[in-house]
Amino acid sequence: MSNLFARREQSRSVERHNSPRHPWLAGPYIFWAAGFIVLPLVLVFYYGLSGPDGTFTLANLAAIAQPIFRNALGQSLLISFGTTAICLVLAYPLAYILSKNRSRSGAFIIILIVLPMWINFLLRILAVQMLIANNGIINMILGHLGLAQMRLINTRAAIFLGTAYDYFPFMVLPIYNAMCKIDHDIIEAAHDLGANALTTFRRIIVPLSLPGVISGIIMVFIPSISEFAIADILGGSRILLFGNVIEQEFNMSNDWHTGSGLSLILMVFIIISMIVMHRVDKDGEGQIIW
């Protein structure tokens, strides 16, 4: 009897809800998602896996073997790994410092760090361009000091600078959030058990901030591997990134099939990177976004 009761209780608790029971309210979005998320991707797959005559082919994927595409992919990987590393190295100490005392000032500094993100990203790149152009501010200052001019624009370093500058806040925020979630009691518990500041950092703070680090890496790595506008502006046309060649396939060569094939390759890299991240984050405690 009591068993029966318990089961009734349980099924009741499953039924508990906090809003009207109307699954159809999701209807418009389901249509939207089908039409504008799934269908476009299906098209990418269709074009990517078919030739101009509409027959199935893997030639568009195999195009990656061509030197121009292969080099571009290599450049992109270099840029995205480099950018991610630069951002991580700069952002981690900053997030740690800011999270250490969770005062209002810390929160406000975070707002100020995120603030440039609200400026159109091309305007930010424009600002970087003004600084490093051949006749830009840095060279002007160097000139006034009587020093040799530096050639910064149209180099790989310029692209690194631009992407790192652009995506830096994406790295700071999730790490900062993860660190703020670490209960202060846990840090005190570590001290209590004899850990000094360094041990506490190494054994407690680093592992517990890992989910944030992973979110940060994904949020910097993915946009920077597919970047093309920054390379266009700061790298001139000297350095072709993977994003550039995909864009050119569509907008200049009008070759939707090769363009889609290369897009599929890009997606493979994105999927691989996410799988790797999930492996590292083995407890599944990390959230992917924020």
Partner 1 sequence: MAKRALIELIDISKKYEDTLVLDELNLTIGENEFVTLLGPSGCGKTTTLRILGGFTSPDTGKVIFDGKDITNLPPNKRHINTVFQKYSLFPHMNVEENIAFGLKISGKSQDYIKDKIKYALKLVNLDGYEKRRPSQLSGGQQQRIAIARAIVNEPRVLLLDEPLGALDLKLRQNMQYELIRLKNELGITFVYVTHDQEEALTMSDIIVVMNQGYIQQIGTPEDVYNEPENAFVADFIGDNNLFSGTMIHDELVEFAGARFACVDKDFGRMRPVDVIIRPEDIVMGEPGEGQIDGVITDVVFKGTHFEIDVTSNGFVWLVYSPKRYAMGTQVSLRVTPFNIQIMNKPESDDEKVAEPDE
Partner 2 sequence: MVEKRSVIEKVYIGVIFVLLYVPLGVLAVWSFNNSISRSVWGGFTLHWYADLFRNAEIMSALATTAKLTVSAALIATLLGTLACIGMAAMGKKLQLVLTTTTNIPMLNADIVTGIALMLLFMRFMRLGFSSMLIAHVTLAVPYVILNVMPKLKTTNHAVYEAALDLGATPFYAFIHITLPEIFPGILSGFLMAFTLSLDDFVITYFTKGPGINTISTMIYQQMRRGINPQMYALSTLLFVIILIILLAVNRVSARQDDPRR
What, of partner 2, partner 1, none, does residue 185 touch, CB below 5 to 8 Å by kind? Answer: partner 1
Q: Do the beta carbons of residue 230 and residue 162 sit within 8 Å?
A: yes
- Contact between 284 and partner 2 (CB under 8 A)? no
**Given candidates 61, 78, 182, 229, which one binds partner 2 under the rule CB under 8 A?**
229
Q: Which of 140, 186, 206, 275 binds partner 2 (CB under 8 A)?
A: 140
- Could you say whether residue 284 binds partner 1 (CB under 8 A)? no
Q: Determine if 189 is a binding residue for partner 1 (CB under 8 A).
A: yes
Q: What residues between 242 and 281 interact with partner 2 by CB under 8 A?
A: 243, 246-247, 250, 256, 259-260, 263, 266-267, 270, 274
Pick between residue 213 and residue 226 the one whose CB is nearest to partner 2.
Answer: 226
Q: Is 102 in the site for partner 1 (CB under 8 A)?
A: no
Residue 196 interacting with partner 1 (CB under 8 A): yes
State which of residues 51, 54, 93, 207 lies at the interface with partner 2 (CB under 8 A).
93
Bridge partners (DSSP) of residue 56 are 50
> Residue 43 interacts with partner 2 (CB under 8 A)?
yes
Q: In DSSP terms, which residues pair with 50 in a beta bridge? A: 56
Name which of partner 1, partner 2, none residue 56 binds, using a CB cut-off of 5 to 8 Å depending on partner kind. none
Residue type, 187: I
State the Cα–Cα distance between residues 234 and 165, nearest whole angstrom: 12
Instruction: Name, in order, each residue with C-beta under 8 angstroms of 290's C-beta and a sequence gap of 6 or more.
Output: 173, 174, 177, 215
Burial classification of residue 77, based on how many CB atoms lie within 10 Å of its CB (0-12 exposed, 13-18 middle, 19 or more buried): middle
**Amino acid identity of 173?**
L
DSSP one-letter string for 179-192: HHHS-HHHHHHHHH
Q: Are 89 and 261 in contact (CB under 8 A)?
A: no
Q: Which residues bind partner 1 (CB under 8 A)?
A: 183, 185-186, 188-196, 199, 203-204, 207-208, 283, 285
